[in-house]
């Protein structure tokens, strides 16, 4: 009597088909589920499977509990930002349920005067109270994803200390959230993830494509002398920040039905808050949308934009993961050539959100004013 084929889990089935795919297919899939790109096929597959384990947790919560929740955190000190998205099984899109920015010094230090030193007593107190806020005051999500802090400019002592403080708070919060599960007798079942900001930026704004866009702008405006200088990385870094802020504005308008670019829903409370700002002015500040009182930090928008886009990126990656595992889990996850063909076809049709946008939308988000010749060229590209 023939043996019944073993039914593979979603991750095992995905791993099986990744082993059968080529490097280009794995690279495309990896970018679109938020996995780190490896240097070779083996590394790419391993990192896809590693990322899939986190996405499977979110997918299982959504399937079993009817909803999954994720909180994305950007660990600045004076501009600590976070967003929380819920994705209900019955909805086609995730819902923004919380979004905030905090000055950790003003909110958690006794003096509240905005001063904080790299003193263990200060960092412990802030880290402890911050952890309590996320685990005892606010609703606990299924996953915390903490944006990994990058080592930036060391051109001055002020910048260097700020970088150190942000990195210290990232490490403390990550450790506290993990240790609370290990050492406290609680049933806290959340997952803590350290997430790369580069993966988020790559998904929403591909740097290579952006460089081409900036070069086209420079070429098309060379006769008028209105082209911005394009230096090694500087222009792209500044432009990506502008793009991310403008993109969140566009997403919020879409959530209100004022733009056809719709990727998330809003709770009634957030609809009211954001509608007030959108109706007040065309280029509204994200900071004003959160409508909080003191201890909110400076009126900067980039931290809020990054926490929002990081949370929403995970929701987008979850959607891709669920679609790809629906393909690979056919036939109980056992190998079949037709399934491999569907897997390859699906992966090769995947694009990052930036590449899904029209040329006109990218230029609009980057605030590039194209001349008539460039606009005509853009129209021909769109129609072709």
| Contact residues for 255 (Cβ-Cβ < 8 A; gap 6+) | 96, 262, 264, 265, 266, 271, 274
Q: What is the pLDDT along the chain (384 residues), one digit of tens a residue?
A: 455 567 889 999 999 999 999 999 999 999 999 998 888 999 999 999 999 999 999 999 999 999 999 999 999 888 899 999 999 999 999 999 999 999 998 889 887 556 777 888 888 999 999 999 999 999 999 999 999 876 655 444 455 677 788 889 999 999 999 999 888 766 788 999 999 888 999 999 887 777 777 777 766 666 544 445 444 456 677 788 999 999 999 999 999 999 889 999 999 999 999 998 887 666 789 998 998 765 556 778 999 999 999 999 999 999 999 999 999 999 889 999 999 999 999 999 999 999 999 888 888 898 886 544 554 554 454 444
Query: What sign does the dihedral 220-224-228-230 (CA atoms) show?
Result: positive
In the chain, what are the domains?
Answer: 10-383 (3.30.420.10)
The pLDDT, as a whole number, for residue 165 is: 84
Other CB atoms closer than 10 Å to residue 309's CB: what's the count? 26
Angle of helix 197-204 relative to helix 234-255, nearest 10 degrees, comes to 70
Q: Give the residue from 308, 265, 267 showing the smallest Cα distance to 286.
A: 308
pTM: 0.88
Q: For tokens 């994720």, what's the residue?
A: 70
Residue 248 CA, distance from chain mean position: 11
Q: Give the residue from 30, 3, 20 showing the smallest Cα distance to 337.
A: 20
| Residue 158 burial class via C-beta count within 10 angstroms: exposed 0-12, middle 13-18, buried 19 and up | exposed
The pLDDT, as a whole number, for residue 156 is: 47
Rounded to whole angstroms, the Cα distance separating 195 from 215 reads 31
Q: What tokens were used for 262?
A: 């719709």
The pLDDT, as a whole number, for residue 376 is: 53
111 three-state secondary structure: coil
3-state secondary structure 50-78: HHHHHHHHHHHHHHHHCEEEEEEEECCCC
H or E segment to which residue 139 belongs: none
Other CB atoms closer than 10 Å to residue 378's CB: what's the count? 18
Other CB atoms closer than 10 Å to residue 183's CB: what's the count? 8
């Amino acid at each position: 009597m023939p043996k019944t084929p073993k039914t593979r889990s979603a991750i095992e089935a995905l791993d099986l088909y990744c082993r059968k795919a080529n490097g280009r297919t794995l690279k495309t899939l990896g970018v679109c589920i938020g996995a780190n790109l490896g240097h070779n096929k083996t590394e790419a597959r391993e990192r896809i499977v590693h990322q899939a384990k986190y996405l499977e947790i979110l997918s299982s919560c959504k399937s079993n509990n009817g909803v999954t929740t994720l909180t994305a955190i950007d660990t600045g000190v004076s501009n600590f930002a976070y967003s929380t998205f819920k994705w209900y099984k019955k909805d086609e899109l995730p819902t923004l349920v919380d979004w905030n920015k905090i000055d950790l010094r003003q909110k958690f230090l006794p003096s509240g005067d905005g001063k904080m030193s790299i003193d263990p007593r200060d960092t412990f107190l802030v880290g402890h109270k911050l952890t309590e806020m996320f685990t005892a005051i606010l609703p606990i999500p299924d996953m915390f994803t903490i944006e990994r802090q990058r080592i930036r400019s060391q051109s001055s002592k002020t910048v260097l200390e700020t970088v150190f403080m942000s990195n210290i708070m990232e490490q403390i919060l990550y450790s506290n959230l993990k240790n609370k599960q290990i050492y406290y007798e609680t049933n806290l079942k959340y997952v803590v993830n350290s997430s790369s900001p580069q993966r988020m930026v790559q998904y929403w704004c591909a740097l290579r494509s952006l460089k081409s866009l900036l070069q086209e702008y420079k070429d098309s405006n060379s006769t008028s002398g209105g082209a911005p200088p394009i230096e090694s990385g500087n222009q792209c870094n500044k432009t990506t920040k502008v793009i991310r802020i403008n993109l969140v504005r566009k997403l919020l308008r879409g959530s209100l039905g004022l733009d056809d670019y719709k990727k998330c829903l809003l709770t009634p409370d957030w609809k009211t808050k954001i509608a007030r700002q959108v109706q007040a002015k065309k280029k509204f500040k994200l900071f004003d949308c959160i409508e909080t009182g003191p201890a909110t930090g400076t009126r900067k928008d980039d931290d809020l934009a990054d926490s929002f886009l990081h949370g929403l990126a995970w929701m987008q990656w979850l959607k891709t993961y669920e679609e790809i595992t629906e393909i690979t889990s056919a036939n109980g996850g056992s190998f079949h050539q037709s399934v491999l063909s569907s897997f390859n076809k699906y992966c090769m049709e995947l694009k990052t959100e930036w590449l899904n946008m029209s040329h006109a939308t990218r230029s609009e988000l980057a605030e590039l004013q194209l001349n008539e010749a460039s606009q005509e060229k853009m129209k021909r590209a769109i129609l072709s």
